[in-house]
Structure formats: C-alpha cells, structure tokens
Structure 1
C-alpha cells in the first residue's frame, strides 16, 4: 500500500474526524436506561458464564471487537454469515480464526426476550469487550451506547486489517485511517495481553528468516528456542501456538515487559520497541500499569465510538439483516 502524501492525508483526516463527531453525537451512556435497563447485566452474566466454561473467550471477544471496528466502524458486520451471493467478513482470511460468536448470539437471544427489537448487536459486542477486560483484571469504563447494526459485510474488506507482519510505519498508517494516533496504536496493541497465536502467524520468524539471519534478530534467543519446540517442522498440531504474554489470562502490562525483553510473538508487536515513534510509549506502559489502564480506556472509547454509517438497524438475529 502506497504511503499517504501530505496533500491527500488532510482530507482523509478531516473526513474521519467529521464522521467521528457525527457518530459520537448519537451515542450516550444512558441510551438504554429507560427502554432496557437490565441489558448490561444480561450481557455481563452471559459473558462471565461463557468465560468460566472456556478461558479463551475473553481474548476472542476482545479480538472480535477490534476486527469489527477496524472495518466499517463498530457495526457488528463481523457477525453476519456468508450467503450464496456474498462472502462475509467472518470468512475473510484474517477472521477465519475469530471465534466465540455463540456468546454474542446467546446474549442477543436473552435480550430479545427481555427487550424485543431494542439492543443492537454492535452494542452487545462493545459491552462484551469492556466486560472481558474488566473481569480479567483490567479497567472498567462506561461504554457509550446507541450503535446501529450495519447491513453490509464483505470478506474482501478484511484486507484492511493490520497484519501481524506489519512494520511500525504500516501500523501507523493503518490506525491513522481510523482517526487513531500513534499512542492509540501502542495502547490498543496492549490488548494482546489476553491473546494467543497459532504458529502460522509467527513461524516465519523462527527459521530461514533472511539471507543474513536464520531467525529474526529482534527476538530473544531463548524465546526462539522455546517457540521452535512448540512449532516444530513439520508441525502436525494445527492448534499449536503461543500466548502473547506470560500472564495470558490476566489483563495487565506484562505484554509491554515482554516486548522490552525481545519476546514479542508477532513481528508487528516487536517492531514497537525498535522505532523511536513508539518505543517511549512501550517503556512508559511497561513501567506504569495504571497509566496503561488509563490510556487503554481512552483508546477503547475512541475506537468504539467510530462508525462508518448512521442508517443501520437493530438486527433481530446478529447473523443476518432483518
């Protein structure tokens, strides 16, 4: 993708900021107070129950939120199923490994009984993402509500998601297109504290990395040996992989400490330490977990309030339009 030039970046930023302002004006913290006062309790109970049965749910829900918002804004387009004439976002290559859609389905079914045709699937994802962070030891924040569900979902759009092989310049460009700053980039990357990756997303760093290096020189040598054991060649275990920090079930700042130790699983993560534009944020968050929590809350609100369309609907079934 060609870099943005000075002459075309300002119109894009203006459009993004205009879109953000319009969308934000329609959202507020008390949107459901009168029409469905129990909706947050229903969602939280559903997410907590699912997480107790499957400890992978928190990371999956948080990733679902990111991947939804990065395409068309937070409009639940990632939940829509493909049809005979359209391949939806969830079937795009970067989303094949997104899981736990059933949790959103269960919450939606309960909400349709309690408050029919009222709560959008997009709001369910946003609340669920906040809840999995909070229940894992991270910060709690008041999510603005009132999103509508989009009517369009295309697998081809998933090429716009930032890849685990991106360098810092590519990451900055990707986030800037969504009105997000360099600080937002480093902050939201901290969501990987709950993450897990299959070998296929990072094994290129472990062997035959380049003509000069067998392995990625930015990686800790002992960490490479550990990952090679978990991802042997040939690898017949398609579920093999690595957690993205050493406290994978806890939302904390360990992710940043791992990056400073050369133990970032993705090259995109490790690149944050090697660039002067991002390294200072990594160091600050590794040192001060409270600062990370504060900035993560602000960045999640910023991402969660961005939407690309205002003429959506409240889907009765999150997997299809009405």
Structure 2
C-alpha cells in the first residue's frame, strides 16, 4: 500500500512538473483577460511615434531569451553589474515600452502578468506592425531572480563564424533552420557602423574587406560607413527593405549583399545555405517552405527557452527591479 502511494505521488508530481513547464495560449484568460489588448495598445502607440520600435522590441525578446532563458532578466537595472549593461547587449532598447505596458497592467490586474510575457507579446505585436505575420503567443512565463552582466558573454556576435553561430543556437535547442529564420529578423532595423569597421577595412586574416561582399555592394557600404568616419551612424541591415518584415534579407545574403558579417556567414555552410535557398525555389510559393510560417514556428520555439513557470521565479511589480 505504501509503495502504491509513493508511486502515485511520483506520478502526480511528474504531471505537475510537466504542466508547470508548459506555456499555453490564453494563460491569462481568467486572471487578466485584457492583457493582449493592453500590450498591443502600448506597442502600437510607441510604433506610431517611432517606427524603429518594431525592430527594437523584437531584438529585446531575442536578447532576453538567449541569456538564462526568457525570464525578463535583461530588464533589470540594479547597477553596473546588471545583465542589461553587457557589451553583447549594447544598443538593446525598448525597456520604457515594456515598463509602460507593465504599469497599465498593474493598474487593472496587479501582480498577475509577468514582465517576460510582456516582452514576448510586445515582440509579436511589433512584428505585425512591420507587416510581418500575426501569431499566437503561449504565455505563463515567470520572471527570473538573477541578472548578471557576465551571463551575457556567450551571446551570438556579428563576427562569429558559422560554426560558432550554429553551436550557440544548438545550445539553446535551436536548429540550423531556426538559426536562419531568426537571423532573418534582421529584415527590420538598423546597425551602427561600429559593427562594420573590421568587415570593411580590417577583415581577418588578411586585412582589407570581407571578400564575400558583392563587389557592386562594397562601395555602397563603404560610402555609408567611411573609414575613420562616425561609427555611431546607423544604416539599414536589410538592403532595399529595411522597414518591412519579409525575406528580402535572405535574398541579400544569397547575392553577397548582406550588411552584417554574421548574416553573410549563413551562406558559408551547406546546411544553412540550403535553408536560405529553399525559400527561393521556383515551387516554394506553392509547396513550401513558407518563410513566414517557419519564422513563427522558430520565434515561438525561441520564446520557450528555459522558461520559468508555475511557482518558479516571480511576477515583478516593476520590470526593472526584483520584488
């Protein structure tokens, strides 16, 4: 009898563990039914004031999930050792949009909606505003209780080789296809010339420019980021389609017109190159794969990296501070 009870307890505990580890669409249906409309309204207002809000919020979601999982750790601002001050996070923004949404949610359903869920919902709404795909976001994340600048040391970087990029994504449970389509999120947004200097003027190992840059595109890049020029000047990452969420950036990669070195590296590897090419097959529009569908699958998958659920973590009252 005792053995039966022990086994029953173990089974129940496993079921509880599984249920707590899973996010679900409509998690706040009973506890905060207006959560999605409130977040959407805040994001829309921010976007109407500044269209750059879309790539900023998308990048915030990516950077949050790649360090300790999607737990809102990047939002904490408790001094110079906070994660958000990591070199790998430089240029990441959108914190004020998340705080604005959090304040409105606290007014109607205090202590219910996590900051990490707000980040995921805000990214989704930002993508839609940039003419990207609409999709449902599984929610139920809890906010983490650790924010450490050193934990962002292994973020994917613009100068990473394709081997490094594949390894970093694999460590997060993401496939080569996920790497390609999530990198294609660079279809919206800008980068600083600071990240272009070595690629244009001191490319390893022989110096000069990255030989993978299309010879017709190279003068254009150099004119936007001249040698010894202002490294803070920002340029579109997606040549020809920097304001619209589409797969143009993958076409740029194919033609040697990728702006970022890490984007260009996707064409160095047989596996990732085949994923890039697959979206331009003559039969792709009829029989797939479809870029937008694959992107949605990958970003939803990314949004579940090492999430805290159930009784784990906390629901912060203010996103920039632990309770």
Q: Structure 2 length normalisation: TM-score?
A: 0.88
Alignment of 1:190-201 (within 5 A): 190-201=184-195
Q: Would the alpha carbon gap of residues 231 and 129 (structure 1) be closer, same or farther in structure 2, given more than 3 Å must change?
A: same
Residue 246 of structure 1 pairs with residue 230 of structure 2: no
Whole-angstrom distance in 1 between the partners of 2:20 and 2:262 = 30
Aligned match for 2:31, one of 28, 35, 38: 35
CA distance in 2, matches of 1:244, 1:73: 27
* CA–CA separation in structure 2 for the residues paired with 1:186 and 1:280: 10
Residue 43 of structure 2 is matched in structure 1 by 47
1:97 is matched with which residue? 91
The reply on whether 1:306 has 2:300 as its aligned counterpart is: no
Which residue in 2 is equivalent to 1:172?
166
Aligned partner of residue 215 in structure 1, secondary structure? coil
- Shift, 1:291, TM fit: 0.7
Residue 7 of structure 2 corresponds to none
The number of residues matched between the two structures is 301
**8 Å CA contact 1:192, 1:245 repeated in 2:** no
1:184 partner SS: helix
Return the offset for 1:236: 3.2
2:56 maps to 60
1:33-76 alpha-carbon deviations (Å, 9 max, x no partner): 11111110000011011011111110010000000000111101
* Shift in Å, 1:274: 2.0
Indicate how the Cα distance of structure 1 residues 211 and 147 shifts in structure 2: closer, same or farther if over 3 A, else same: closer
How far 1:22 moved relative to its partner? 4.6
The corresponding residue for 2:290 is: 291
Give the TM-score normalised by structure 1. 0.88
When structure 1 is superposed on structure 2, of 297-306 and 213-222 the one drifting more is 213-222
The CA deviation at 1:138 is 1.3
Distance in 2 (CA, whole Å) between partners of 1:318 and 1:282 is 37
Per the alignment, residue 111 of structure 2 pairs with 117
Separation in 2, partners of 1:167, 1:74: 25
| Partner of residue 157 from structure 2, selected from 163, 177, 192 | 163
Q: Give me the CA root mean square deviation.
A: 1.9
The 1:23–1:318 alpha-carbon spacing in structure 2 relative to 1, beyond 3 Å, is: farther
* Corresponding residue of 2:320: 319
Larger mean Cα displacement after TM superposition, 284-293 or 89-98: 284-293
Greater shift in the superposed pair: 238-247 or 112-121: 238-247
Matching residue of 1:234 = 228
- Residue matched to 1:279: 273
Superposed CA offset, 1:195-243 (max 9, x none)? 3110111221111324646211100122211111111232236234343
Matched, 1:221 2:215: yes
Tell me what 1:7 maps to.
none
Alignment CA distance shift 1:147-1:309 (3 Å): closer
Distance 1:306 1:286, change over 3 A: same
- What secondary structure, in the 3-state scheme, does the structure 1 residue paired with 2:191 have? strand
1:79 aligned onto 2:72: no
Residue pair 2:202, 2:209 contacting (<8 A) in 1 also: yes
Partners in 1 of 2:260 and 2:19 — Cα distance? 33
Structure 2: runs of 5 or more not aligned: 1-13
| SS at structure 1 position matched to 2:279 | helix
- Aligned residue for 1:13? none
The change in CA–CA distance for 1:242 and 1:249 in structure 2 (over 3 A counts) is closer
SS of 1:272's equivalent in the other structure is helix
1:140 matched residue in structure 2: 134
